[in-house]
A and B are shown apart, each in its own frame.
Chain A
Amino acid sequence: VTARVDFADWPFMAKLADWIVGAHMGILFGIVNQLLLAATAVALIVVIVLGYRMWWRRRPTRTTGLTLPAGPRRGVLAGLRPHEAVLVTLALAGFGYFAPLFGVSLAVFVAVDVALGRWQTRAARQ
């Protein structure tokens, strides 16, 4: 052993990262945190299933055959009140940082969606 670095000597960001990892893995706060995490996991599954159910129920039903539902209209985020849009953006950015696969795929999706929107707007003007 050539050196020793105690937790108290860690920089603030390192402490924060350690606390977040501990909270995320159920190490911090014991059984209370584990129950909370389990409830969060169940709630997430419920929200995902309900989301797909809502999406499916919105599909056109008067046509014959299998018709998939349409996607949400473009510009929903900008249609929110500014402080709501800011909160959504910050939440997504924060979550995207801690879940990089989600963050990168969301960023690519937004970039493609913005590009498609611009292209459609330009085509509509012409």
Chain B
Amino acid sequence: MIDDLFLRWIVTALFVFSALECGYAIVTGRRDWTHVEAHLLHFVMAVAMAVMAWPRGATLPTTGPMVFFGLAAIWFLAIMFTTARHRAVGGYHAFMMLAMAWMYAVMNGSLLPGQAMSGHHDAQGSAVAMNMPGMNMAAGAGASSGPGYPAWIDALDWLCTVVFAVAAVWWLYRYFAERQADPGRRHIGIMCQAMMAAGMAVMFGVML
């Protein structure tokens, strides 16, 4: 969860808008099942992230969603290797789903090797681990992702933060470039990807 209320609302707005766009694309877009499946997974992801930003969301179980998004990553990888077009984008979507699974694993507090939070699983562990740094000093003193967490977890959180921050800028650039190239179309889907990447960067950023 994010303790900074303004940042929490910003992240919620980013993911709610993204979820609405994905829902709209499912209803009005192409009818082939890969298109629907991809947007459905992004819809679930956006809703999950919006929920995760709030205190109640940090108390929910983490193992089920972690498995779900792990499978979603495999699905996107399979699509990437079986289609000739947009492989880089497919790889990015797979990475994003994998990052979701990773975030749930970190929130769980006991699944990853080296996490010294045995006995503080799911609800309590996640509440401590995901507190916004700077707002709850006692919980985060001496470690970034949580008390007793090894450096490799922090390193992966940093990696995800940087990757999604760069991705947000790239999607935003692509949105403006495509809009200039084809002003007749709306390109909301690309803006939605920029918003989701920005939201992911913030969510990983507050874990540092």
Q: Do the beta carbons of B144 and A11 come within 8 Å of each other? A: yes
Within residues 73 to 114 of chain A, which ones have a CB less than 8 A from any CB in chain B? 78-80, 82-83, 85-86, 89-90, 97, 100
Q: Which residues of A contact B144 (CB under 8 A)?
A: 11-12
Q: Given A97-B10, A100-B6, are A13 and B176 neighbors across the interface (CB < 8 Å)?
A: no
Within residues 1 to 55 of chain A, which ones have a CB less than 8 A from any CB in chain B? 3, 5, 9-14, 17-18
Report A62 CB to chain B, min CB distance, Å.
Answer: 32
Query: Per DSSP, are chain A's interface residues mostly helix, strand or loop, or mixed?
Result: helix
Q: Which residues of B contact A85 (CB under 8 A)?
A: 172, 176
Q: Do the beta carbons of B134 and A11 come within 8 Å of each other? A: yes
A70, B137: Cα distance in complex, Å: 51
Report B43 CB to chain A, min CB distance, Å.
Answer: 21
Query: Per DSSP, are chain B's interface residues mostly helix, strand or loop, or mixed?
Result: helix
Report B198 CB to chain A, min CB distance, Å.
Answer: 8
Q: Given A11-B140, A12-B208, are A17 and B134 neighbors across the interface (CB < 8 Å)?
A: yes
Within residues 153 to 208 of chain B, which ones have a CB less than 8 A from any CB in chain A? 169, 172-174, 176-177, 179-180, 183, 205-206, 208
Report A17 CB to chain B, min CB distance, Å.
Answer: 5
A2, B10: Cα distance in complex, Å: 35
- Which of B132, B134, B183 is in CB contact (< 8 Å) with A10? B134
Report A73 CB to chain B, min CB distance, Å.
Answer: 14
Report B139 CB to chain A, min CB distance, Å.
Answer: 10
Report B157 CB to chain A, min CB distance, Å.
Answer: 11
A85, B144: Cα distance in complex, Å: 34
Q: Do the beta carbons of B133 and A5 come within 8 Å of each other? A: no
Most B Cβ at <10 Å: residue of A9, A14, A80: A14
Q: Which residues of B contact A89 (CB under 8 A)?
A: 172
A97, B140: Cα distance in complex, Å: 23
Q: Do the beta carbons of A14 and B177 come within 8 Å of each other? A: no
Q: Which residues of A contact B78 (CB under 8 A)?
A: none
Most B Cβ at <10 Å: residue of A5, A13, A18, A85: A13
Q: Apart from A11-B140, A12-B208, what are 20 other A-B pairs with CB-CB below 8 Å?
A: A3-B138, A5-B137, A9-B142, A10-B133, A10-B141, A12-B133, A13-B132, A13-B134, A13-B206, A78-B176, A78-B179, A82-B174, A82-B177, A83-B173, A85-B172, A85-B176, A86-B169, A90-B172, A97-B6, A100-B6
* Residues of A bordering B, CB below 8 Å: 3, 5, 9-14, 17-18, 78-80, 82-83, 85-86, 89-90, 97, 100
Which A-B residue pairs are the 7 nearest by beta carbons?
Answer: A11-B133, A14-B134, A82-B176, A85-B176, A13-B133, A82-B177, A14-B133
